[in-house]
Amino acid sequence: MKDRIVRFDRVEFDTRQNRLRQQMEKQKLDAIIVSAPENIYYLSGYQTKAVFTFQFLLFPVKGPLLLFTRQMEIANAMAAYAEGGFSDYEVYQDDQDPMEAAIAFLRRHLPSGARVGLELASWCMPAQRAQGITRGFTAAKWIDVSTLIDRLRLVKSPAELMALAQAGRIGDAIADRTLAAIAPGRTENDLAAVLMTEMVNQGSEYPGSWPNVMVGQRTGRIHAAWEGVAIGRDDHVMAEITGVKLRYHAPSCRTILVGNPLPAVRHAAEVLEKAQQAAVAAVEAGRPARVINQAAEAVLTANDPGCVVARRCGYSLGIGFPPSWGAQWQLGLNSLVEETLETGMAFHIVLVGHLPEGRAVSIGCTVALGENGPERLTRGGVFWADGSKRL
């Protein structure tokens, strides 16, 4: 059975575009200005690391897709165009006013009275930019379509799940080699050097966010990169690491115990691992997404971890660009979300607990909902630095 994917074919992109057009017809939308880089890539295959650039994909309910971007990105535009990602593209130069160029572009391609969607929640469509577009092109009726495309992306195709699984294998290989480097006296920077080297060696693309590597007291910072702190004889390390394939991210979160760590750390890690296992087991098609966090909370209620646990045990996963590997919009797995779980969804199911004195433990893995239930795509959990045993 094929388990690797090199690229997405045109059938894949056509299917994605048709799904969006069906939703647009329901909402009587004539076009959408797609600004979120994850959504532009999802629909056309166009990508650039320069997500700060003023650019968008003009996606009509009928007719050709058109890209508007900076001249500096022309090679990326040409590559996506050659692959059939869109029918044409237009670039503006750095001595032009980008907003004036964008308004002129929209006037050429949108009819008066068109109902046009804007992704107002996208951080690539800040308030000033959105205001410039809507005030500059008053002939359109502007509609907020934030999360419309993101929600379509929640359910992955077989090709997307293949990319995600491949990213998971890469991520586990990176995490395993990082784990093997953990020993008293080594520093966070030593671990980061191994991690970044293996990210390249294992074939990962660049991640949407830096991996998180923390030792001892710094583990409480959760989202923190390396600062050179040395590992003690009796200590613990937290590492959140992802592999990336075709921009799909599959992270894991590991708590690694060194020597004789603080009893409170070991106990919290053990309880959180049990709670995380219960959360994974609760992933079932047809159930509301809240059951995932509720399953974790049931274990935490029955087994006091001795730490304050975040009341959200994960988020939806897939395409990621800077500054986040979790995308600009995520389905957060708290106990309130009623979204129905469907086959093809994928999540990073991760629990984070802060101990009273500031340290933290975290357990997480990437999970895809398959035909036969939840499938772990990465190996998060509690590990011992010497590799001799696991809780």
Written as one string, the DSSP assignment of 231-272 is: PPSSEEEEEEEEEEETTEEEEEEEEEEESS--HHHHHHHHHH
Integer Cα distance of 123 and 51 in angstroms: 10
Cα(73)–Cα(55) distance, integer angstroms: 10
At residue 4, the pLDDT reads 66
φ, ψ for residue 15, nearest 5 deg: -65, -45
CA dist 116 and 134 (Å) reads 10
Two tokens, residue 334: 């708290």
Give the per-residue pLDDT at 1: 37
Which H/E stretch holds residue 374?
A: strand 373-376
Q: Is 272 exposed, middle or buried (0-12, 13-18, 19+ CB in 10 A)?
A: buried
| Burial class for 148, CB neighbours closer than 10 Å (0-12, 13-18, 19+) | buried
Q: What is the residue-level pLDDT of the chain in tens, covering all 391 positions? A: 356 667 899 999 999 999 999 999 999 999 999 999 999 999 999 999 999 999 999 999 999 999 999 999 999 999 999 999 899 999 999 999 999 999 999 999 999 999 999 999 999 999 999 999 999 999 999 999 999 999 999 999 999 999 999 999 999 999 999 999 999 999 999 999 999 999 999 999 999 999 999 999 999 999 999 999 999 999 999 999 999 999 999 999 999 999 999 999 999 999 999 999 999 999 999 999 999 999 999 999 999 999 999 999 999 999 999 999 987 788 999 999 999 999 999 999 999 999 999 999 999 999 999 999 999 999 999 999 986 545 5
- What are the DSSP calls for 39-52, one per residue? HHHHHH----S-TT
- Residue 208's nearest CA partner among 161, 169, 149, 167 is 167
